[in-house]
């Protein structure tokens, strides 16, 4: 069976203080074709190796930007990565076709709960609204931007809830890797969580 080659671009500037991502990143299934790339660990001085990053992108089909939500956006290194790696003539522009046909997924945790991210919620914008710059960046590069996968309300999560999220995350990655999530059907949805919920309960891959 053809497996999806997945690159997890992971960005957390203070992993020692993390409750969620430290657990998630340790739980990534050890499957060939899933690469974890920790940006803060690799580039503590933000001195990004553009050629290496471009090689990594070329050798994967699904790029996952995994990070905590910081000030309604990504941690800073992801911006730096975009600014340097997505070069004109490579990622976009008339000759810039390197990323065409690949998929991009944001996998984000937010301290605020899901209902805060509504027009009538205290954050006033939906996650899709706030992620528009990344969605449009993907579009400009000819990539399909998938609905984000969201872990929300992390401030109030207790140990059991975190454990449950870690399990769901593992399942998500395994199912994406096996091409078992119907990404066409998920298109246009607020998040990928619903697609995962539909699959879990039917069958759990290991």
Ligand X SMILES: Cc1cc2nc3c(=O)[nH]c(=O)nc-3n(C[C@H](O)[C@H](O)[C@H](O)COP(=O)(O)O)c2cc1C
Q: Which residues bind ligand X (CB under 6 A)?
A: 12, 18-21, 68-72, 109-112, 154
* Least gap, CB of 128 to ligand X (angstroms): 15
Give every CB contact of residue 164 below 8 A, 6+ residues apart in sequence. Answer: none
Nearer to ligand X by C-beta: 21 or 102?
21
* Least gap, CB of 116 to ligand X (angstroms): 7
* Least gap, CB of 121 to ligand X (angstroms): 11
Nearer to ligand X by C-beta: 20 or 78?
20
* Least gap, CB of 158 to ligand X (angstroms): 13
Tokens of 97: 């076709």
Are residues 134 and 104 in contact, defined by beta-carbon separation less than 8 angstroms?
yes
The CA distance from 34 to 173, in Å, is 9
* Least gap, CB of 22 to ligand X (angstroms): 6
Nearer to ligand X by C-beta: 43 or 70?
70
- Segments of the chain assigned E as strands: 6-10, 34-38, 62-68, 103-110, 144-145, 149-152
Pairing, β 6-10 against β 62-68: parallel
Nearer to ligand X by C-beta: 16 or 184?
16
CB crowding 38-68: b at 16 or more within 10 Å, else e: ebbeebeeeebeeeebbebbeebebbbbbbb
The CA distance from 106 to 204, in Å, is 23
Nearer to ligand X by C-beta: 43 or 72?
72
* Least gap, CB of 87 to ligand X (angstroms): 29
Tokens of 100: 């065409």
Nearer to ligand X by C-beta: 7 or 24?
24
């Amino acid at each position: 069976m053809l497996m999806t080659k997945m690159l997890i671009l992971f960005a957390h500037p203070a992993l020692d203080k993390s409750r969620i991502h430290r657990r998630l990143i340790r739980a990534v299934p050890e499957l060939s074709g899933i690469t974890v790339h920790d940006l803060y660990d690799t580039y503590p001085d933000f001195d990004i190796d553009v050629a290496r990053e471009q090689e990594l992108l070329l050798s994967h089909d699904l790029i996952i930007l995994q990070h905590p939500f910081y000030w309604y956006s990504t941690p800073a290194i992801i911006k730096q990565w975009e600014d340097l790696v997505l070069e004109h003539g490579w990622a976009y522009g008339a000759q810039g076709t390197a990323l065409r046909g690949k998929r991009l997924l944001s996998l984000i945790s937010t301290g605020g709960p899901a209902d805060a991210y509504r027009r009538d919620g205290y954050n006033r914008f939906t996650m899709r609204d706030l992620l528009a710059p990344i969605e449009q960046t993907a579009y400009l590069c000819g990539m399909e931007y998938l609905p984000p996968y969201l872990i929300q309300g992390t401030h109030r999560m207790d140990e059991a809830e975190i454990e449950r999220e870690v399990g769901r995350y593992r399942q998500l990655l395994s199912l994406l890797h096996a091409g078992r999530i119907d990404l066409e059907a998920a298109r246009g949805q607020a998040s990928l969580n619903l697609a995962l919920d539909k699959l879990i309960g039917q069958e759990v891959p290991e």
